[in-house]
């Protein structure tokens, strides 16, 4: 296949008349008109767009197919025939290359509709005297299909589809289009045009923090800027969380809540004490109502991994656990959606936004409010770094799990502080230090996850007995699973010391000091 050429036309151009004109110049045969629809999909956070791809389900009579296209040239080698609407997740597609590619690109994210375009096409073929097609040309009228089904003209264009090995035919046709019909080539990127006309900006969401801050900015103003971004992140993920489109909406929603709580707790000295106390409680409530659903999400996501840890003959016996998880997830999801529709939640958002957008006080009660963020931010981060070192150094092989959990929480706080204020530091240096911290966090996170999983699975096991879901073989399977998780937890615990040493090494300390406490270098 050769890359197609596109020639945009005016909305007022008549396609049949243009075809007549072309037939006068070229040895074309025309085919009956055809109509087809292409529905484009991407994840909420535009993962396909970031990879210069888009998922398209092209629907034409009985010949529908789902394909992963390269944006711009519409080329692909990965597609499957798919008569019905695509599923929500890559894992629900038939095994194969398309599923694999989508899985790699999208992970846990669902396919969400981005745009639908209906095309009416008049096709012409250049057929040589042997009866062989040398080139295909399409006169297309593209219409944007609104969610309610209403259609509006997107554009008209001529698309020339050259065939491999017949470059001369393509050259002649494009030359006639450009010289005789005075048409100018365009990029033919229909999806971009559709997004523009829908006022949608691709790639406008990322769960990563990237908040520009000027070092001289007042600390309270800087924190408001950060917190407003986090509020927006919550709101962006709210609808997807309520509709449970995929697990990442709730995940990102919770991260925004956690970051908000951390920004409140770690930068106490820049907020009015009464405001701080009021909102800390409210966000603690918001965090707590999202936890049960997220926990169940995690167990359901890990389920395949759990199954694979069991001997073959016990794998099927874990099925009742999945049913139990699904049932409870459904109940918790209803509870969570309900909570996010309450007046209490609405009020929290409104009051919070009102505070964040109110004029800054001239004489704030909080001690650090008027100080520049370039001073307060690094100072606070340095203090948290020292706390992490202190807590980590106090941990011995005999320390209880709680000590590691506390360290994990401190690391998280440190990470958030580093990310909130990353624009205050040279990008390369802060990224390198975040990477160092991440290494330690991964170990602590794994340990905590395993510990919590063991504890919760034991609880679920009891609950399943009470709810009549437990069979002796399922109980055996769960015991096996717990044993396997405990072994893994010991392994993870075993490498903590080396991970911490790596993080706390002298050279890292110098780098941390250089960035967050340069006066003591």
Partner 1 sequence: MKPDSEVYLTRARSEDNTMKVIACYNIKGGVGKTASAVNLAYLSAREGNSTLVWDLDPQGASSFYFRIKPKVKGGAQGLLRRKRVLDDVIKATDYDRLDLIPADFSYRNMDLTLERFRKSSTRLRKLIEPVQSDYDYLFLDCPPNISLVSENVFEAADVMLVPTIPTTLSIRTLYQLLRFCDKRKYKHLDILPFFSMVDRRKILHRGMLEDPPRTRSGFLTSDIPYSSEVEQMGVKRAPLATYAHNSRIADAYRSLWRELNSRMDHPSA
* Distance separating alpha carbons of residues 176 and 180, to the nearest angstrom: 5
The nearest distance, CB 200 to partner 1, in angstroms, is: 19
The nearest distance, CB 170 to partner 1, in angstroms, is: 11
Is the Cβ–Cβ distance between 46 and 205 less than 8 Å? yes
Q: Is 484 in the site for partner 1 (CB under 8 A)?
A: no
> Cα angle at 342 between 338 and 348, to 5 degrees?
130
Residue 76, sorted as left (phi over 0), alpha (psi -120 to 50) or beta, turns out to be: beta
Residue bearing tokens 């040493």: 501
Is the Cβ–Cβ distance between 473 and 311 less than 8 Å? no
Whichever of 60 and 207 has its CB closer to partner 1, that residue is 60
Residue 52, sorted as left (phi over 0), alpha (psi -120 to 50) or beta, turns out to be: left
The nearest distance, CB 11 to partner 1, in angstroms, is: 21
Question: Residues 48, 55, 67, 158: which binds partner 1 (CB under 8 A)?
Answer: 67
The nearest distance, CB 43 to partner 1, in angstroms, is: 19
Report the site for partner 1 in 173-192 (rule: CB under 8 A).
Answer: 190
Q: One symbol per residue from 416 to 455: x for binding partner 1 (CB under 8 A), - otherwise; what is it?
A: ----------------------------------------
* Furthest C-alpha separation in the chain: 89
DSSP labels, 130-161: TS-EEEEEEEEEEEEEPTTS-EEEEEEEEEEE
Report the site for partner 1 in 4-63 (rule: CB under 8 A).
Answer: 4, 36, 38, 56, 58, 60, 63
Q: Is 171 in the site for partner 1 (CB under 8 A)?
A: no
For 18-37, b where at least 16 C-beta lie within 10 A, e where not — what string?
Answer: bbeebeeebebebeeeeeee
Question: Residues 80, 298, 339, 401: which binds partner 1 (CB under 8 A)?
Answer: 80
Whichever of 12 and 164 has its CB closer to partner 1, that residue is 164
Q: Give Cα separations from 265 to 60, 252, 280, 364, 382 (angstroms).
A: 56, 20, 8, 18, 15
* Distance separating alpha carbons of residues 138 and 18, to the nearest angstrom: 11
Is the Cβ–Cβ distance between 147 and 169 less than 8 Å? no
Whichever of 138 and 385 has its CB closer to partner 1, that residue is 138
The nearest distance, CB 317 to partner 1, in angstroms, is: 30
Question: Residues 78, 229, 275, 517: which binds partner 1 (CB under 8 A)?
Answer: 78
Q: Which of 352, 307, 299 is nearest to 326 (CA)?
A: 299
Question: Residues 17, 25, 77, 341: which binds partner 1 (CB under 8 A)?
Answer: 77
- DSSP assignment, residue 163? -
Whichever of 122 and 231 has its CB closer to partner 1, that residue is 122
- Total residues contacting partner 1 by CB under 8 A comes to 38
Q: One symbol per residue from 269 to 298: x for binding partner 1 (CB under 8 A), - otherwise; what is it?
A: ------------------------------
Q: One symbol per residue from 81 to 100: x for binding partner 1 (CB under 8 A), - otherwise; what is it?
A: x------------x-xxx--
Residue bearing tokens 């489109």: 245
* Distance separating alpha carbons of residues 509 and 325, to the nearest angstrom: 44
Q: Is 332 in the site for partner 1 (CB under 8 A)?
A: no
Helix axes 401-420, 427-466, angle to 10 degrees: 140
Report the site for partner 1 in 89-148 (rule: CB under 8 A).
Answer: 94, 96-98, 119, 121, 130-133, 136, 138
Q: Is 168 in the site for partner 1 (CB under 8 A)?
A: no
Binding site for partner 1 (CB under 8 A): 1, 4, 36, 38, 56, 58, 60, 63, 65, 67, 69, 74-81, 94, 96-98, 119, 121, 130-133, 136, 138, 159, 161, 163-166, 190
């Amino acid at each position: 296949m050769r890359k197609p050429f596109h020639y945009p036309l005016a909305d007022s151009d008549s396609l049949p008349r243009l075809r007549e004109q072309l037939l006068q110049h070229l040895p074309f045969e025309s085919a009956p008109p055809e109509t087809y629809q292409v529905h484009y999909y991407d994840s909420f956070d535009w993962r396909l767009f970031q990879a210069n791809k888009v998922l398209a389900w092209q629907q034409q009579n009985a010949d529908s197919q789902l394909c992963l296209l390269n944006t711009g040239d519409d080329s692909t080698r990965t597609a499957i025939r798919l008569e019905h609407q695509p599923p929500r997740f890559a894992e629900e597609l038939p095994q194969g290359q398309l599923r694999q590619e989508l899985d790699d690109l999208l992970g846990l994210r669902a396919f969400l509709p981005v745009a639908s375009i209906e095309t009416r096409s008049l096709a012409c073929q250049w057929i040589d005297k042997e009866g062989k097609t040398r080139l295909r040309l399409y006169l297309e009228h593209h219409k944007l299909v609104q969610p309610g089904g209403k259609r509006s003209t997107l554009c008209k264009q001529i698309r020339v589809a050259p065939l491999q090995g017949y470059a001369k035919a393509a050259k002649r046709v494009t030359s006639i289009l450009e010289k005789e019909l005075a048409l100018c080539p365009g990029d033919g990127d229909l999806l971009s045009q559709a997004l523009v006309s829908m006022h949608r900006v691709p790639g406008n969401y990322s769960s990563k923090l990237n908040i520009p801050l000027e070092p001289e900015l007042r600390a309270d103003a800087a924190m408001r800027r950060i917190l407003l971004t986090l509020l927006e992140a919550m709101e962006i993920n709210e609808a997807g969380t309520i509709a449970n489109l995929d697990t990442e909406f709730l995940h990102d929603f919770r991260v925004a809540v956690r970051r908000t709580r951390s920004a409140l707790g770690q930068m106490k000295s820049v907020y009015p004490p009464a405001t701080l106390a009021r909102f800390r409680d409210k966000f603690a409530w918001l965090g707590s109502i999202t936890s049960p659903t997220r926990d169940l999400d995690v167990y359901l996501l890990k389920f395949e991994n759990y199954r694979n840890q069991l001997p073959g003959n016990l794998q099927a016996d874990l099925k009742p656990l999945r049913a139990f998880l699904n049932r409870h997830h459904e109940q918790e999801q209803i509870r969570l959606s309900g909570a996010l529709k309450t007046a209490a939640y609405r009020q929290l958002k409104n009051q919070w936004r009102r505070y964040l957008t109110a004029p800054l006080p001239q004489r704030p009660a909080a001690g650090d409010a008027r100080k520049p963020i370039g001073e307060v931010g690094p100072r606070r981060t340095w203090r948290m770094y020292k706390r992490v070192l202190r807590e980590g150094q106090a941990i011995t092989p005999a320390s209880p799990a709680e000590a590691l959990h506390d360290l994990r929480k401190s690391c998280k706080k440190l990470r958030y502080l580093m990310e909130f204020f990353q624009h205050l530091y040279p990008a390369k240096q802060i990224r390198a230090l975040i990477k160092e911290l991440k290494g330690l966090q991964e170990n602590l996170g794994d340990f905590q996850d395993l510990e919590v999983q063991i504890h919760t699975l034991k609880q679920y096991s009891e609950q399943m007995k009470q709810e009549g879901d437990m069979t002796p073989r399922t109980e055996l399977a769960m015991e096996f699973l717990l044993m396997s998780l405990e072994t893994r937890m010991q392994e993870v615990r075993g490498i903590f010391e080396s991970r911490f040493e790596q993080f706390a090494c002298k050279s890292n300390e110098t780098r941390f000091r250089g960035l967050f406490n340069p006066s003591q270098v």
